[in-house]
Structure 1
Amino acid sequence: MLNPVTRKFQAKATIAGVEKDTRSMRTAETMTSPKHQEPHSKVGDFMRDAILGFADGLTVPFALTAGLSAVGSIRIVIVGGLAELFAGAISMGLGAWLAVDSDRKAYYVEEAREKLEVRNCPEKEEEEIYEIFEQYHISRESSKGVVDGLKVNPDVWVQFMMDFELKLERPNSHKAWISALVISVAYFLGGLLPMIPYFIYKNILHALYTSIGVSVVVLVLFGYGKAIVIGQKKRHAVYSAIQMLAIGTLAAGASYGIVAGVNASKIGRGSS
Protein backbone atom coordinates (compact mmCIF):
# COMPACT_ATOMS: atom_id res chain seq x y z
CA MET A 1 0.00 0.00 0.00
CA LEU A 2 1.26 3.46 -0.87
CA ASN A 3 2.26 5.94 1.78
CA PRO A 4 -0.67 8.35 2.52
CA VAL A 5 1.52 11.34 1.69
CA THR A 6 2.45 9.71 -1.61
CA ARG A 7 -1.21 9.11 -2.51
CA LYS A 8 -1.91 12.81 -2.07
CA PHE A 9 1.01 13.83 -4.30
CA GLN A 10 0.05 11.18 -6.86
CA ALA A 11 -3.53 12.38 -7.05
CA LYS A 12 -2.32 15.91 -7.61
CA ALA A 13 0.13 14.88 -10.31
CA THR A 14 -2.60 13.00 -12.18
CA ILE A 15 -4.88 16.01 -12.16
CA ALA A 16 -1.97 18.17 -13.29
CA GLY A 17 -1.93 16.47 -16.68
CA VAL A 18 -5.33 17.98 -17.41
CA GLU A 19 -5.25 21.20 -15.45
CA LYS A 20 -2.18 23.10 -16.64
CA ASP A 21 -2.94 26.09 -14.52
CA THR A 22 -2.80 24.16 -11.25
CA ARG A 23 -0.88 26.43 -8.90
CA SER A 24 0.77 24.23 -6.32
CA MET A 25 1.20 20.72 -5.07
CA ARG A 26 0.70 22.05 -1.57
CA THR A 27 -3.04 22.38 -2.18
CA ALA A 28 -3.40 18.62 -2.70
CA GLU A 29 -4.62 17.93 0.80
CA THR A 30 -7.25 20.65 0.60
CA MET A 31 -8.46 19.37 -2.79
CA THR A 32 -8.76 15.76 -1.67
CA SER A 33 -10.40 16.61 1.67
CA PRO A 34 -12.60 19.69 1.13
CA LYS A 35 -14.50 19.17 4.38
CA HIS A 36 -11.41 18.85 6.52
CA GLN A 37 -10.55 21.99 8.43
CA GLU A 38 -7.49 22.56 10.57
CA PRO A 39 -7.08 25.31 13.19
CA HIS A 40 -4.25 27.11 11.40
CA SER A 41 -3.83 30.85 11.63
CA LYS A 42 -5.57 32.71 8.81
CA VAL A 43 -3.37 35.78 9.06
CA GLY A 44 -2.36 36.74 5.55
CA ASP A 45 0.49 38.80 4.20
CA PHE A 46 -1.50 42.03 4.33
CA MET A 47 -2.45 41.46 7.96
CA ARG A 48 1.23 40.98 8.75
CA ASP A 49 1.98 44.19 6.87
CA ALA A 50 -0.63 46.02 8.96
CA ILE A 51 0.81 44.62 12.19
CA LEU A 52 4.34 45.62 11.18
CA GLY A 53 3.34 49.14 10.17
CA PHE A 54 1.15 49.75 13.21
CA ALA A 55 3.77 48.40 15.62
CA ASP A 56 6.48 50.67 14.22
CA GLY A 57 4.07 53.59 14.10
CA LEU A 58 3.21 53.17 17.76
CA THR A 59 6.83 52.96 18.85
CA VAL A 60 8.90 55.37 16.74
CA PRO A 61 6.73 58.53 16.66
CA PHE A 62 5.79 58.03 20.32
CA ALA A 63 9.46 57.87 21.26
CA LEU A 64 10.20 60.95 19.15
CA THR A 65 7.37 63.08 20.53
CA ALA A 66 8.23 62.02 24.08
CA GLY A 67 11.83 63.01 23.45
CA LEU A 68 10.92 66.35 21.88
CA SER A 69 8.72 67.11 24.89
CA ALA A 70 11.92 67.62 26.84
CA VAL A 71 12.50 70.77 24.77
CA GLY A 72 9.37 72.30 26.29
CA SER A 73 7.61 73.48 23.12
CA ILE A 74 4.37 71.90 21.91
CA ARG A 75 4.88 73.42 18.47
CA ILE A 76 8.26 71.72 18.12
CA VAL A 77 6.70 68.43 19.19
CA ILE A 78 3.87 68.74 16.66
CA VAL A 79 6.07 69.86 13.77
CA GLY A 80 8.77 67.29 14.50
CA GLY A 81 6.24 64.54 15.14
CA LEU A 82 4.31 65.19 11.92
CA ALA A 83 7.53 65.39 9.92
CA GLU A 84 8.63 62.02 11.24
CA LEU A 85 5.14 60.59 10.79
CA PHE A 86 4.90 61.45 7.11
CA ALA A 87 8.54 60.61 6.39
CA GLY A 88 8.26 57.32 8.25
CA ALA A 89 5.03 56.31 6.52
CA ILE A 90 6.47 57.09 3.08
CA SER A 91 9.76 55.36 3.88
CA MET A 92 8.04 52.25 5.25
CA GLY A 93 5.76 52.07 2.23
CA LEU A 94 8.57 52.44 -0.28
CA GLY A 95 10.65 49.90 1.60
CA ALA A 96 7.79 47.41 1.51
CA TRP A 97 7.25 48.01 -2.21
CA LEU A 98 10.94 47.49 -2.99
CA ALA A 99 11.09 44.30 -0.91
CA VAL A 100 8.01 42.72 -2.51
CA ASP A 101 9.00 43.85 -6.01
CA SER A 102 12.47 42.38 -5.55
CA ASP A 103 10.94 39.08 -4.42
CA ARG A 104 8.67 39.08 -7.49
CA LYS A 105 11.57 39.66 -9.88
CA ALA A 106 13.68 37.03 -8.14
CA TYR A 107 10.85 34.51 -8.46
CA TYR A 108 10.54 34.93 -12.22
CA VAL A 109 14.31 34.72 -12.68
CA GLU A 110 14.36 31.43 -10.78
CA GLU A 111 11.30 30.19 -12.67
CA ALA A 112 12.95 30.87 -16.04
CA ARG A 113 16.10 29.07 -14.88
CA GLU A 114 14.02 26.12 -13.66
CA LYS A 115 12.22 25.87 -17.02
CA LEU A 116 15.56 25.66 -18.81
CA GLU A 117 16.74 22.93 -16.45
CA VAL A 118 13.56 20.89 -16.93
CA ARG A 119 13.87 21.18 -20.70
CA ASN A 120 17.63 20.66 -21.02
CA CYS A 121 18.42 18.40 -18.04
CA PRO A 122 15.27 16.33 -17.35
CA GLU A 123 17.20 13.40 -15.84
CA LYS A 124 18.90 15.68 -13.32
CA GLU A 125 15.59 17.35 -12.40
CA GLU A 126 13.91 13.96 -12.08
CA GLU A 127 16.60 12.89 -9.64
CA GLU A 128 15.98 16.05 -7.63
CA ILE A 129 12.30 15.12 -7.32
CA TYR A 130 13.26 11.77 -5.82
CA GLU A 131 15.59 13.56 -3.41
CA ILE A 132 12.75 15.84 -2.33
CA PHE A 133 10.53 12.85 -1.53
CA GLU A 134 13.37 11.15 0.30
CA GLN A 135 13.36 14.09 2.72
CA TYR A 136 9.85 12.92 3.68
CA HIS A 137 11.11 9.31 4.03
CA ILE A 138 9.25 8.21 0.88
CA SER A 139 10.99 5.52 -1.14
CA ARG A 140 11.68 5.75 -4.86
CA GLU A 141 9.26 2.93 -5.54
CA SER A 142 6.45 4.76 -3.76
CA SER A 143 7.15 8.12 -5.39
CA LYS A 144 7.73 6.82 -8.94
CA GLY A 145 4.08 7.28 -9.89
CA VAL A 146 4.17 10.89 -8.75
CA VAL A 147 7.35 11.57 -10.69
CA ASP A 148 5.85 10.05 -13.83
CA GLY A 149 2.74 12.18 -13.35
CA LEU A 150 4.81 15.36 -13.05
CA LYS A 151 6.78 14.54 -16.19
CA VAL A 152 3.55 14.53 -18.19
CA ASN A 153 3.17 18.28 -17.70
CA PRO A 154 6.37 20.38 -17.74
CA ASP A 155 4.56 23.48 -16.41
CA VAL A 156 3.41 21.66 -13.30
CA TRP A 157 6.82 20.01 -13.02
CA VAL A 158 8.41 23.47 -12.90
CA GLN A 159 5.82 24.64 -10.36
CA PHE A 160 6.55 21.62 -8.19
CA MET A 161 10.26 22.44 -8.21
CA MET A 162 9.55 26.08 -7.38
CA ASP A 163 7.37 25.03 -4.44
CA PHE A 164 9.36 22.16 -2.97
CA GLU A 165 12.97 22.61 -4.12
CA LEU A 166 13.31 26.40 -4.04
CA LYS A 167 10.39 26.96 -1.62
CA LEU A 168 9.29 30.12 -3.44
CA GLU A 169 5.70 31.32 -3.61
CA ARG A 170 4.29 32.68 -6.86
CA PRO A 171 3.97 36.46 -6.34
CA ASN A 172 0.79 38.48 -6.71
CA SER A 173 1.25 41.12 -9.42
CA HIS A 174 -0.54 43.74 -7.30
CA LYS A 175 0.94 42.73 -3.96
CA ALA A 176 3.80 45.24 -3.96
CA TRP A 177 1.56 48.31 -4.14
CA ILE A 178 -1.04 46.91 -1.74
CA SER A 179 1.65 45.96 0.78
CA ALA A 180 3.18 49.44 0.52
CA LEU A 181 -0.19 51.11 1.05
CA VAL A 182 -1.15 48.89 4.00
CA ILE A 183 2.15 49.46 5.81
CA SER A 184 2.10 53.22 5.18
CA VAL A 185 -1.47 53.71 6.40
CA ALA A 186 -0.94 51.44 9.43
CA TYR A 187 2.26 53.29 10.35
CA PHE A 188 0.56 56.68 10.05
CA LEU A 189 -2.45 55.64 12.15
CA GLY A 190 -0.26 54.02 14.79
CA GLY A 191 1.96 57.08 15.04
CA LEU A 192 -0.89 59.57 15.05
CA LEU A 193 -2.47 58.22 18.25
CA PRO A 194 0.33 59.34 20.65
CA MET A 195 0.34 62.79 19.02
CA ILE A 196 -3.36 63.58 19.51
CA PRO A 197 -2.91 65.00 23.07
CA TYR A 198 -0.44 67.58 21.73
CA PHE A 199 -3.17 68.98 19.50
CA ILE A 200 -5.56 69.23 22.47
CA TYR A 201 -3.51 70.52 25.41
CA LYS A 202 -1.55 73.77 25.60
CA ASN A 203 0.49 72.59 28.58
CA ILE A 204 3.22 70.31 27.30
CA LEU A 205 3.40 68.25 30.49
CA HIS A 206 -0.34 67.55 30.36
CA ALA A 207 0.04 66.57 26.72
CA LEU A 208 3.05 64.36 27.50
CA TYR A 209 1.35 62.52 30.38
CA THR A 210 -1.83 62.02 28.37
CA SER A 211 0.21 60.80 25.41
CA ILE A 212 1.99 58.33 27.66
CA GLY A 213 -1.34 57.09 29.02
CA VAL A 214 -2.82 56.70 25.54
CA SER A 215 0.31 54.96 24.29
CA VAL A 216 0.42 52.54 27.22
CA VAL A 217 -3.19 51.49 26.65
CA VAL A 218 -2.76 51.16 22.89
CA LEU A 219 0.54 49.28 23.20
CA VAL A 220 -0.97 46.77 25.62
CA LEU A 221 -4.14 46.28 23.57
CA PHE A 222 -2.20 46.01 20.35
CA GLY A 223 0.32 43.54 21.76
CA TYR A 224 -2.48 41.37 23.17
CA GLY A 225 -4.67 41.62 20.08
CA LYS A 226 -1.79 40.89 17.72
CA ALA A 227 -1.09 37.61 19.48
CA ILE A 228 -4.76 36.60 19.47
CA VAL A 229 -5.13 37.40 15.77
CA ILE A 230 -2.19 35.20 14.77
CA GLY A 231 -3.63 32.33 16.81
CA GLN A 232 -1.60 32.34 20.03
CA LYS A 233 -3.04 31.38 23.40
CA LYS A 234 -4.07 33.97 25.98
CA ARG A 235 -0.97 33.27 28.07
CA HIS A 236 1.25 34.15 25.12
CA ALA A 237 -0.98 37.12 24.33
CA VAL A 238 -0.34 38.54 27.81
CA TYR A 239 3.39 38.11 27.27
CA SER A 240 3.08 39.83 23.88
CA ALA A 241 1.28 42.77 25.52
CA ILE A 242 4.00 43.13 28.16
CA GLN A 243 6.71 42.83 25.51
CA MET A 244 5.11 45.51 23.35
CA LEU A 245 4.76 47.83 26.34
CA ALA A 246 8.38 47.25 27.38
CA ILE A 247 9.69 48.05 23.90
CA GLY A 248 7.63 51.23 23.63
CA THR A 249 8.59 52.36 27.12
CA LEU A 250 12.28 51.70 26.54
CA ALA A 251 12.29 53.58 23.24
CA ALA A 252 10.36 56.56 24.63
CA GLY A 253 12.42 56.73 27.82
CA ALA A 254 15.71 56.59 25.95
CA SER A 255 14.56 59.23 23.47
CA TYR A 256 13.34 61.56 26.22
CA GLY A 257 16.56 61.17 28.20
CA ILE A 258 18.81 61.79 25.20
CA VAL A 259 16.92 64.88 24.05
CA ALA A 260 16.76 66.23 27.60
CA GLY A 261 20.51 65.76 27.95
CA VAL A 262 21.25 67.45 24.62
CA ASN A 263 18.88 70.31 25.46
CA ALA A 264 20.60 70.87 28.81
CA SER A 265 24.04 70.91 27.21
CA LYS A 266 25.62 73.60 25.08
CA ILE A 267 25.39 71.55 21.88
CA GLY A 268 24.02 73.62 19.02
CA ARG A 269 24.01 76.91 20.97
CA GLY A 270 27.16 78.32 19.45
CA SER A 271 29.96 79.99 21.33
CA SER A 272 29.08 82.46 24.08
Structure 2
Amino acid sequence: IEEMPQKESEEIRDIFREFGFQEDDLEVAVERITSNKNLWLKFMIQEEIGLVPGTMDNPTSIGLISAVSFLMGAIPVIAPFFFVYSVSKALLIAAIVLIVLLFIMGVWKTRFTKVHWLRSGIETLAFGGLSCGIGFSLGRIIAALVH
Protein backbone atom coordinates (compact mmCIF):
# COMPACT_ATOMS: atom_id res chain seq x y z
CA ILE A 1 0.00 0.00 0.00
CA GLU A 2 2.81 2.38 0.91
CA GLU A 3 5.33 1.32 -1.73
CA MET A 4 3.10 0.47 -4.71
CA PRO A 5 -0.33 2.06 -4.21
CA GLN A 6 -1.22 1.93 -7.93
CA LYS A 7 -0.56 -1.81 -8.14
CA GLU A 8 -2.46 -2.49 -4.91
CA SER A 9 -5.47 -0.42 -5.99
CA GLU A 10 -5.47 -2.29 -9.32
CA GLU A 11 -5.57 -5.56 -7.37
CA ILE A 12 -8.62 -4.25 -5.48
CA ARG A 13 -10.17 -3.33 -8.83
CA ASP A 14 -9.56 -6.92 -10.04
CA ILE A 15 -11.11 -8.36 -6.88
CA PHE A 16 -14.25 -6.24 -7.32
CA ARG A 17 -14.44 -7.24 -11.00
CA GLU A 18 -14.44 -10.87 -9.85
CA PHE A 19 -17.31 -9.95 -7.51
CA GLY A 20 -19.23 -8.76 -10.59
CA PHE A 21 -18.95 -4.98 -10.16
CA GLN A 22 -19.44 -2.86 -13.30
CA GLU A 23 -17.06 0.02 -14.10
CA ASP A 24 -19.04 2.86 -12.42
CA ASP A 25 -19.66 0.93 -9.21
CA LEU A 26 -16.16 -0.50 -9.42
CA GLU A 27 -14.52 2.93 -9.26
CA VAL A 28 -16.71 4.02 -6.34
CA ALA A 29 -15.86 0.85 -4.38
CA VAL A 30 -12.13 1.16 -5.08
CA GLU A 31 -12.17 4.84 -4.08
CA ARG A 32 -13.96 4.06 -0.80
CA ILE A 33 -11.57 1.26 0.11
CA THR A 34 -8.37 3.11 -0.83
CA SER A 35 -9.37 6.35 0.91
CA ASN A 36 -8.89 4.71 4.32
CA LYS A 37 -5.51 2.95 4.74
CA ASN A 38 -6.69 0.80 7.66
CA LEU A 39 -9.72 -0.38 5.70
CA TRP A 40 -7.53 -0.86 2.62
CA LEU A 41 -5.07 -3.02 4.55
CA LYS A 42 -7.84 -5.04 6.20
CA PHE A 43 -9.51 -5.60 2.82
CA MET A 44 -6.25 -6.75 1.21
CA ILE A 45 -5.49 -9.12 4.09
CA GLN A 46 -8.93 -10.70 3.87
CA GLU A 47 -9.50 -10.78 0.12
CA GLU A 48 -6.03 -11.11 -1.39
CA ILE A 49 -4.22 -13.17 1.22
CA GLY A 50 -7.33 -14.91 2.56
CA LEU A 51 -6.71 -14.35 6.26
CA VAL A 52 -9.85 -13.78 8.27
CA PRO A 53 -9.52 -12.27 11.76
CA GLY A 54 -10.34 -14.72 14.53
CA THR A 55 -9.77 -17.89 12.51
CA MET A 56 -6.46 -18.72 14.17
CA ASP A 57 -7.13 -17.76 17.76
CA ASN A 58 -7.13 -21.26 19.28
CA PRO A 59 -3.55 -22.47 20.04
CA THR A 60 -4.69 -26.10 20.31
CA SER A 61 -6.21 -26.01 16.83
CA ILE A 62 -3.12 -24.34 15.42
CA GLY A 63 -0.92 -27.00 17.05
CA LEU A 64 -3.05 -29.86 15.71
CA ILE A 65 -3.09 -28.37 12.22
CA SER A 66 0.71 -28.00 12.35
CA ALA A 67 1.20 -31.57 13.59
CA VAL A 68 -1.10 -33.11 10.98
CA SER A 69 0.51 -31.01 8.22
CA PHE A 70 3.97 -32.10 9.33
CA LEU A 71 2.94 -35.76 9.37
CA MET A 72 1.27 -35.53 5.97
CA GLY A 73 4.47 -34.08 4.54
CA ALA A 74 6.90 -36.35 6.39
CA ILE A 75 5.29 -39.78 6.15
CA PRO A 76 5.47 -40.15 2.35
CA VAL A 77 9.13 -39.13 2.39
CA ILE A 78 10.27 -41.42 5.23
CA ALA A 79 8.05 -44.38 4.22
CA PRO A 80 10.60 -45.83 1.76
CA PHE A 81 13.04 -46.36 4.62
CA PHE A 82 10.54 -48.74 6.26
CA PHE A 83 9.78 -50.76 3.12
CA VAL A 84 13.01 -50.81 1.10
CA TYR A 85 15.96 -52.79 2.46
CA SER A 86 18.69 -50.84 0.66
CA VAL A 87 19.31 -47.44 2.26
CA SER A 88 20.61 -45.97 -1.00
CA LYS A 89 17.49 -47.11 -2.89
CA ALA A 90 15.25 -45.82 -0.10
CA LEU A 91 17.07 -42.48 -0.24
CA LEU A 92 16.58 -42.27 -4.01
CA ILE A 93 12.86 -43.09 -3.70
CA ALA A 94 12.48 -40.57 -0.86
CA ALA A 95 14.20 -37.89 -2.96
CA ILE A 96 11.89 -38.55 -5.91
CA VAL A 97 8.81 -38.48 -3.67
CA LEU A 98 10.05 -35.24 -2.11
CA ILE A 99 10.60 -33.61 -5.50
CA VAL A 100 7.12 -34.57 -6.67
CA LEU A 101 5.44 -33.47 -3.43
CA LEU A 102 7.26 -30.12 -3.31
CA PHE A 103 6.25 -29.37 -6.89
CA ILE A 104 2.63 -30.39 -6.24
CA MET A 105 2.56 -28.24 -3.10
CA GLY A 106 3.87 -25.28 -5.10
CA VAL A 107 1.18 -25.76 -7.73
CA TRP A 108 -1.53 -26.14 -5.06
CA LYS A 109 -0.31 -22.96 -3.38
CA THR A 110 -1.36 -20.93 -6.44
CA ARG A 111 -4.97 -21.19 -5.28
CA PHE A 112 -4.03 -18.59 -2.68
CA THR A 113 -1.14 -16.68 -4.22
CA LYS A 114 -2.42 -16.20 -7.78
CA VAL A 115 1.11 -16.80 -9.12
CA HIS A 116 1.52 -18.85 -12.33
CA TRP A 117 1.37 -22.54 -11.40
CA LEU A 118 4.64 -23.50 -13.07
CA ARG A 119 6.60 -20.68 -11.45
CA SER A 120 5.14 -21.48 -8.03
CA GLY A 121 5.87 -25.20 -8.43
CA ILE A 122 9.47 -24.60 -9.45
CA GLU A 123 9.97 -21.96 -6.75
CA THR A 124 8.65 -24.23 -3.99
CA LEU A 125 10.73 -27.10 -5.34
CA ALA A 126 13.86 -24.93 -5.39
CA PHE A 127 13.46 -23.57 -1.86
CA GLY A 128 12.34 -26.90 -0.43
CA GLY A 129 15.15 -28.72 -2.22
CA LEU A 130 17.70 -26.19 -1.01
CA SER A 131 16.56 -26.50 2.60
CA CYS A 132 16.57 -30.31 2.36
CA GLY A 133 20.03 -30.24 0.83
CA ILE A 134 21.32 -28.03 3.61
CA GLY A 135 19.74 -30.28 6.25
CA PHE A 136 21.14 -33.41 4.63
CA SER A 137 24.61 -31.86 4.33
CA LEU A 138 24.60 -30.72 7.96
CA GLY A 139 23.56 -34.21 9.01
CA ARG A 140 26.48 -35.73 7.11
CA ILE A 141 28.92 -33.21 8.57
CA ILE A 142 27.70 -33.81 12.13
CA ALA A 143 27.79 -37.59 11.60
CA ALA A 144 31.39 -37.33 10.38
CA LEU A 145 32.36 -35.23 13.40
CA VAL A 146 30.68 -37.58 15.87
CA HIS A 147 32.23 -40.77 14.47
Shorter-chain-normalised TM-score: which range?
Answer: 0.5 to 0.7
How many angstroms apart in 1 are the aligned matches of 2:122 and 2:129? 10
1:223–1:37 Cα change, 3 Å? closer
The match for 1:38 is 19
TM-superposed deviation, 1:205: 0.1
Q: Does 1:261 align with 2:141?
A: yes
The 5-angstrom pairing of residues 107-186 of structure 1 reads: 136=35, 164=39, 171=54, 175-186=58-69
Q: Does 1:213 align with 2:96?
A: yes
1:37–1:237 Cα change, 3 Å? closer
Q: Does 1:240 align with 2:139?
A: no
TM-superposed deviation, 1:230: 1.3
In structure 1, stretches of 5+ residues that fail to align are 1-35, 40-132, 138-162
The match for 2:70 is 187
TM-superposed deviation, 1:170: 5.6
What is the DSSP-based 3-state SS (H/G/I as helix, E as strand, rest coil) of the residue aligned with 2:93? helix
TM-superposed deviation, 1:248: 1.9
TM-score, with length taken from structure 2: 0.59
TM-superposed deviation, 1:225: 1.3
What is the DSSP-based 3-state SS (H/G/I as helix, E as strand, rest coil) of the residue aligned with 1:171? coil
1:136–1:173 Cα change, 3 Å? closer
- Give the letter for the 1:217 counterpart: V
How many angstroms apart in 2 are the aligned matches of 1:200 and 1:177? 33
1:249–1:170 Cα change, 3 Å? closer
TM-superposed deviation, 1:172: 5.4
- How many residues are aligned here? 109
Give the CA RMSD over aligned residues: 3.3
